[in-house]
Structure 1
């Protein structure tokens, strides 16, 4: 399903997007050395409930997971990159943590992810991974607008990741979003320009460049959810939900302080 939002729903999408971004920033500020991933999940649950919103994850049970997910935020550490199931683990200095959050409020969902290094000892390689995904995300957003094709966004994202020297996995990527978290069209993290679905005003997309340092192969944990790099290398993931407008693209998942 591809959903085009009317102005009222787009206004609600801005509210949901700000909520997602604000929760992620609050979690980042509290995720310090010694913080347990299960505490991060509990904090997320509380903030979602306090906002009168709903988790898109807790009952999520797609064909590729061992569902339902049963938690409120994805917490991926170091070699984990996607669908990180929170577990009893205390963060260590230098850990590369990715938080991925999707929430629905007022009938509209928003999805975003951030990667950052915990503590005071960031490895240059970890910072480079994060920077590459952030630059790729900006490139994908810059390529978005009415009349652009999904392949234009994929090409922009993939060009940045490839130039940074990282292999690109195409099993998972960006997606449409609206009344539900995952919709068509799929936005691969690499592709050919001029191909794919033509973007229209009112369309919401979640763009999410992610990379692994030295491989494009994923392995699944015994928990049935957490996806890790096959070589044990570090990973990073950045994501924004955007709205296609009459003259470009609007980022919906910016923190309130940055709007």
Structure 2
């Protein structure tokens, strides 16, 4: 009976979904995909793909294929499971995922919210969402995230997360607390950014900020605080501030490479920096 209901919902889903060019590609779930919706729960082992609709509760489930998140409202959660492929979130989609292992990557196609806590992602987390939160998680690939410029309250939050690849955060209001990046970190066109309690093995680059940026300082209870005795944050490469017409503060950092400030009409403020390499440009 459950299988019949699931197939009926899947058929209805394929008929009712928008077929315009902005929606067709990400919403083309394979025929026969299991469906999770209010009152409809797939088996604990899904041999193929699964489609997540509004009201879905998906705990302790193993999905061998991809997960297609078509939910656009709250009251939807994916928890304590495993996805063998990718997690894909459609335009306007809502993802809330905790304690889940993803063998592929997470792809956000102009999602509304993507909130991930205690997840492990074997590949990358990439795409655009109005608000992306990645907390106490491990991403073995890169993190490439942006926010749409046409919506208010655009946020990118990384808290207590380890990333094996490069971290690129573009636009929006950025908060990175207790971030460990095995490569580098780039902040570009951000409206506001605070990075603290973090360790970055490669370069840290701030480019074209549209608002105030602060790198360094102490993390306390998941947020950034400031004091003169803050522990040093580590930058294993160089620290670069480029094309900055907004205030940038660099505080209590141990920089293994160079400090480079170029095309910064607003002076970059530095306090308590240890720079092993050269100081160049307006920070010389």
Q: Which range, TM-score by smaller chain?
A: under 0.3
Using the size of structure 2 for normalisation, the TM-score is 0.23
Using the size of structure 1 for normalisation, the TM-score is 0.25
Larger Rg: 2
Q: Determine which structure has the larger strand proportion and give its number.
A: 2
Q: Determine which structure has the larger helix proportion and give its number.
A: 1
